[in-house]
Amino acid sequence: MNPMTCLRPAVCSAALMLGSVGATAAAADTPARLAKIPRVQAAVQQIRAEDALTLREQIEIAEIPAPPFQETARAQDYLRRLRAAGLKDASIDATGNVIGVRKGSRGKPLLVISAHLDTVFPEGTDVKVVQRDGRYYGRGLTDDSRGLTALLSVLRAMEANKLRTVGDVMFVATVGEEGLGDLRGVKALFRDRPDIDGFLSVDTAGGKDGHRLIAHATGSHRWEISFIGPGGHSFGAFGTPSAIHAMGRAIANIGDVRTPSSPKTTFTVGVVSGGTSVNTIASDAKMLVDIRSNDGPALLATEKEIMAAIDKGVAAENARWDAPEAKRVRPEPKLLGDRPAGVSAPDSHVIRVSQQSWKALGLAVPALETASTDANVPIGLGIPAATVSGGGEGGGAHGPEEWYKPVDAWQGPQALLLSTLALVGVDGATKPELPVRKPRAR
């Protein structure tokens, strides 16, 4: 029997609750100790009992459009859901984040558990969820409607079972996690709240086995490069440098840049545009460049090479026509996105407690992964942070065939509940595992 599937949690044996964790290890593991407390057992069982409700809620949230920079409707709905679940101290901040604080007896440490509101899909995209072949299909259904739902499930379980914590738990639904949103929601959160001690992001469903633990942050810089020139008629002004030709030379040079395989570092020119007509020497052109790495210095080194490649391409176009200063093409770079890279220490409190929570549930501990999520920001600031999955299986994120399968879906919120309680402590039962940090200067 899975140790957390007992139908009568008050009489579950200690041996069952310890699952695969040995007696000696269990004595040192706060999640395992918490799993023996009747009120916590009842909260864990409530999450499983509400599995159908949670799935219905996930579908309802997914069917509220939340295109990039247009998350307001979903934010307002989510605020209503937080309040209905018992979090009266909740509101929408100036950036658009939905934030609610569940107070503890001492107020510290302060732990954020978070999911993101936005999707990658533009306005007008059909977000209706359909069921076929044992799966649910819907754009944004896993990324990140599942995460948003997991937070609500944890909140309801804590409220219904009167689990008073030592530290505060901040429930956050962020804006701007995807694409050119540039993590603006979570950046604003940490700008405004320098007193946050730890951070757990819940993003998407799990992989094949339903569970993920992301501890390494893939950083990225996203650039818009504009090429500006005098332009002119394709015949009458022939010999004038072309913004499009300069961009083409730059792209060819970028394609020759070599990057290290370890740490993995990548780049792409993802979008190009420009020009006026077929018989015009282009006076403007534009491209979007994405540079990523699991290591900050490697990212910056590659970025330097790419900028040099752009300058070289522009210089070659101007030299080709021996253009005077007034008729040269010039590049104008604009940074659109800056996601910090970093690594959470494998023995950090957030990582360790997350792993122990899976063990207390009798589940295998997933390998540490690397990805770009809201956790990039706190990891970059040196704050204990990780991203976990919301339970169930899913795939096809960011595409028209995004799918979700609620296989043992309750396990994700159950693990999140145990991790949250262990990190902030349960009043009268366990001390917080999460250290209180010295507040950062604003």
> Is residue 99 within 8 Å of residue 90, measured between CB atoms?
yes
* Least trusted range by pLDDT, from 20-24, 97-101, 160-164, 386-390: 20-24
Q: Are residues 201 and 263 in the same domain?
A: no
| pLDDT at residue 5, as a whole number | 31
Q: Is residue 284 part of a domain?
A: yes
Which of 294, 314, 339 marks a domain boundary? 339
Please count the structural domains in the chain. Answer: 2
4, with CB counted inside 10 A (0-12, 13-18, 19+), is: buried
Q: Is residue 391 part of a domain?
A: yes
Q: Please calculate the CA angle 308-178-152 and round it to the nearest 5 degrees.
A: 155
Residue-wise pLDDT tens digits, 342-355: 998 877 899 999 99
The strand pairing partners of 92, in sequence order, are: 98
What number of residues does the chain have? 442
More confident residue, 58 or 345: 58
Q: Are residues 308 and 375 in the same domain?
A: no
> Average pLDDT, stretch 1-18?
30
| pLDDT at residue 442, as a whole number | 65
| pLDDT at residue 390, as a whole number | 95
Q: Is residue 418 part of a domain?
A: yes
Residue-wise pLDDT tens digits, 221-251: 999 999 999 999 999 999 999 999 999 999 9
325, with CB counted inside 10 A (0-12, 13-18, 19+), is: exposed
Decide if pLDDT at 335 tops 90.
yes
Q: Are residues 48 and 129 in the same domain?
A: yes
> Rounded to two decimals, what is the model's pTM?
0.89
Q: Is residue 429 part of a domain?
A: no
> Is residue 190 within 8 Å of residue 378, measured between CB atoms?
yes
Residue-wise pLDDT tens digits, 245-277: 999 999 999 999 999 999 999 999 999 999 999
Query: Could you give the percent of the chain with pLDDT greater than 90?
Result: 89
Q: Are residues 315 and 195 in the same domain?
A: no
* φ/ψ bin of 331: left (φ > 0), alpha (ψ from -120 to 50), beta (otherwise): beta
> Is residue 189 within 8 Å of residue 172, measured between CB atoms?
yes
| pLDDT at residue 347, as a whole number | 78
Q: Is residue 213 part of a domain?
A: yes
Q: Are residues 335 and 399 in the same domain?
A: no
Q: Is residue 442 part of a domain?
A: no
Q: Please calculate the CA angle 103-71-374 and round it to the nearest 5 degrees.
A: 60
Q: Are residues 226 and 171 in the same domain?
A: no
| pLDDT at residue 309, as a whole number | 98
Q: Are residues 29 and 121 in the same domain?
A: yes
Q: Are residues 96 and 204 in the same domain?
A: yes
Structure confidence at residue 209 as a pLDDT band (50, 70, 90):
low
Distance CA 417, CA 160 (A): 13
Residue-wise pLDDT tens digits, 107-144: 999 999 999 999 999 999 999 999 999 999 999 999 99
Q: Are residues 299 and 243 in the same domain?
A: yes
Domain limits for position 152:
9-218+341-424
Decide if pLDDT at 12 tops 60.
no
Query: Could you give the percent of the chain with pLDDT greater than 70?
Result: 92
The encoded tokens of residue 403 equal 């799918």
| pLDDT at residue 25, as a whole number | 39
Decide if pLDDT at 20 tops 70.
no
Structure confidence at residue 207 as a pLDDT band (50, 70, 90):
low
Decide if pLDDT at 180 tops 60.
yes
Structure confidence at residue 438 as a pLDDT band (50, 70, 90):
confident
Decide if pLDDT at 308 tops 50.
yes
Q: Are residues 83 and 200 in the same domain?
A: yes
Q: Are residues 93 and 137 in the same domain?
A: yes
- CATH number, domain with residue 175: 3.40.630.10
- CATH number, domain with residue 312: 3.30.70.360
Helix (H) or strand (E) holding 55: helix 51-62
Distance CA 428, CA 83 (A): 26
Mean confidence (pLDDT) of the chain: 92
Closest-CA residue to 392 (of 45, 149, 112):
149
Q: Are residues 91 and 186 in the same domain?
A: yes
Q: Is residue 36 part of a domain?
A: yes
Q: Is residue 135 part of a domain?
A: yes
Decide if pLDDT at 9 tops 90.
no
Decide if pLDDT at 195 tops 60.
yes
